[in-house]
Amino acid sequence: MIAPGAALGVLGSGQLGRMFAMAARRLGYRVHTFSPERDTPTGQIADVEVCASYDDLDAVRAFASGVAAVTFEFENVSAAAAAAAESVAVVRPAGRVLHITQHRLREKTFLAGKGFPVTPFRTVGSLEDCHAAAAELGLPAVLKTAGFGYDGKGQRVIQTARDIPAAWAAMAGAESILEAFVPFEREISVVAARSHTGEFVHYGVMENRHANHILDVTITPAAVSGPVANEAAAIARGVLEALDVVGVLCVEMFLESSGGLLINELAPRPHNSGHVTIEAHATSQFEQQVRALCGLPLGSTELVRPGAMANLLGGLWQAGEPNWAAALEVPGARLHLYGKGEARPGRKMGHITALGATAGEARGRAVLARQRLADSQ
Ligand code: AMP
């Protein structure tokens, strides 16, 4: 067990690391963060902010040797960097988990190989492959780069065969996958944690609405039937066990109108849909990450009250600083800002959480508070 007072290292320096650092500091740990940037969302909270390239393996080793254990908040750290950290420190989840989940093709191949339900897909390395894959899977379909994609970046929806050349060109020659378009009824996720002893906890099913491929609103609990909730949790448990995850992992899924579930993707870390756990559940996903990293018992995931989270994207800053007071007037609205300097459109700048007697009421409050920000522009 790594006791409070020790230093914990986080690779990456965004909002996920920031909220990890807040949870870790509350528990009495010190936090070191490593990324190529300065004055980062995590660095503003951490005790130590190391600024170096993830490819500088000497710097990664030096960073890892200065802390009791390392986790990450950014999954596109190279396998070599993860191995460098693992050569001198405990790294949780292991670099192997990172390696599989940072690459859609490896991830989907792993999941399909273990018998998990995934969206039908084909590997695409050329325009000809893309035509052939579209003929096999049918259209519409979604073309995605195999690596380094998030929030819909590196994705193109192909409606008809005429869209194929432009979609393939947008991948800029990168190894890609074509996925059948899933006419899902809803998008859901299960955030779960697993300890080094194999203890497993999950937060139940969150329901997620996306806008422009970016998460917009999450509610907990999702309005799904008991069998669907049980199946989703069983899939999450199976995935954490199959990957031998020690830490937090989120399974994003499509719920089909038939009631079937398909895994869309995995995030081997706390996830945007789990931010609502800070207020709505007994132990947040970030505290769970600290506990799993340090070999502490996992915390209760009990729902305190139904909750909802609305993301604040950079577009809200279009006409200058939003009127925070207008949002905070909404009863129960909790504002989280990530300390990012530049508000680019689509950039995740913060979120608002609200609780309610029902998830619908919570959603109404969170969305109203956000609307007040938009209206104040
Ligand atoms: P991803 O980055 O793969 O999570 O995709 C971002 C969002 O795009 C998802 O949450 C869905 O809303 C949408 N999307 C991605 N893949 C598909 C698919 N195969 N079928 C339908 N919608 C999709």
CATH topology of domain 7-91: Rossmann fold (3.40.50)
> Does residue 187 line the site of ligand 1, with CB under 6 A?
yes
> Does residue 200 line the site of ligand 1, with CB under 6 A?
no
Higher per-residue pLDDT: 151 or 15: 15
Strands of the sheet with 214-220, listed across from one edge = 261-267, 247-255, 186-194, 200-211, 214-220, 307-313, 348-355, 334-337
> Does residue 179 line the site of ligand 1, with CB under 6 A?
yes
For residue 302, the model assigns a pLDDT of 98
Strand partners for 200 = 194
Atom of ligand 1 nearest to the CA of 252: 4
| Residue owning the nearest CA to atom 18 of ligand 1 | 181
pLDDT in tens, 72-118: 998 888 889 999 999 999 999 999 999 999 999 999 999 999 999 99
CB 24 within 8 A of CB 47: no
CATH 3.10.580.10 fits 184-372, yes or no: no
Residue 152 has pLDDT above 80, yes or no: no
> What's the 3-state SS for 326-359?
HHHCCCCCEEEECCCCCCCCCCEEEEEEEECCCH
CB 63 within 8 A of CB 9: yes
For residue 149, the model assigns a pLDDT of 63
- Percent pLDDT > 70 in the chain is 98
For residue 100, the model assigns a pLDDT of 95
> Does residue 264 line the site of ligand 1, with CB under 6 A?
yes
Q: Can you tell me the mean pLDDT for 160-186?
A: 92
| Residue owning the nearest CA to atom 8 of ligand 1 | 213
Residue 151 has pLDDT above 80, yes or no: no
> Does residue 181 line the site of ligand 1, with CB under 6 A?
yes
Residue 174 has pLDDT above 90, yes or no: no
Q: Model pTM? A: 0.96
Residues 6+ apart with CB under 8 A from 40: 13, 14, 17, 33, 49
> Does residue 119 line the site of ligand 1, with CB under 6 A?
yes
pLDDT in tens, 230-283: 999 999 999 999 999 999 999 999 999 999 999 999 999 999 999 999 999 999
pLDDT in tens, 40-83: 999 999 999 999 999 999 999 999 999 999 999 988 888 899 99
| pLDDT class of 213 with cuts at 50, 70, 90 | confident
CATH topology of domain 120-180: Dna Ligase; domain 1 (3.30.1490)
| Residue owning the nearest CA to atom 2 of ligand 1 | 152
| Residue owning the nearest CA to atom 1 of ligand 1 | 152
151 CA → ligand 1 middle, Å: 9
For residue 83, the model assigns a pLDDT of 95
118 CA → ligand 1 middle, Å: 12
Residue 8 has pLDDT above 80, yes or no: yes
Task: Map tokens 């509610």 to a residue.
Answer: 219
Atom of ligand 1 nearest to the CA of 181: 20
Q: Can you tell me the mean pLDDT for 305-315?
A: 98
Burial 46-83 (b: 16+ CB within 10 A, else e): beebbeeebebbebbbebbebbbbbbbbbbebbeebbb
264 CA → ligand 1 middle, Å: 7
> Does residue 107 line the site of ligand 1, with CB under 6 A?
no
213 CA → ligand 1 middle, Å: 6
48 CA → ligand 1 middle, Å: 36
Q: Can you tell me the mean pLDDT for 212-235?
A: 97
| pLDDT class of 172 with cuts at 50, 70, 90 | confident
> Does residue 210 line the site of ligand 1, with CB under 6 A?
yes
How many CB atoms within 10 Å of residue 306? Answer: 20
Average pLDDT over the chain reads: 96
Atom of ligand 1 nearest to the CA of 180: 19
Residue 313 has pLDDT above 90, yes or no: yes
- Calpha distance 178→230 (Å, rounded): 29
Residues 6+ apart with CB under 8 A from 47: 7, 30, 31, 32
> Does residue 292 line the site of ligand 1, with CB under 6 A?
no
**Ligand 1 probe mutation, 105, 184, 257, 264, most atoms within 8 A of CB:** 264
- Where exactly are the structural domains of the chain? 7-91, 120-180, 184-372
134 CA → ligand 1 middle, Å: 17
Q: Can you tell me the mean pLDDT for 306-316?
A: 97
For residue 111, the model assigns a pLDDT of 98
> Does residue 152 line the site of ligand 1, with CB under 6 A?
yes
Atom of ligand 1 nearest to the CA of 215: 10
- Calpha distance 76→66 (Å, rounded): 22
| Residue owning the nearest CA to atom 7 of ligand 1 | 213
**Rounded-to-10 torsion of CA 328, 216, 278, 30:** -100
CA dist 216 to 193, 209, 255, 322, 350, Å?
24, 6, 18, 18, 11
Q: Can you tell me the mean pLDDT for 329-340?
A: 96
Q: Can you tell me the mean pLDDT for 318-337?
A: 95
For residue 376, the model assigns a pLDDT of 74
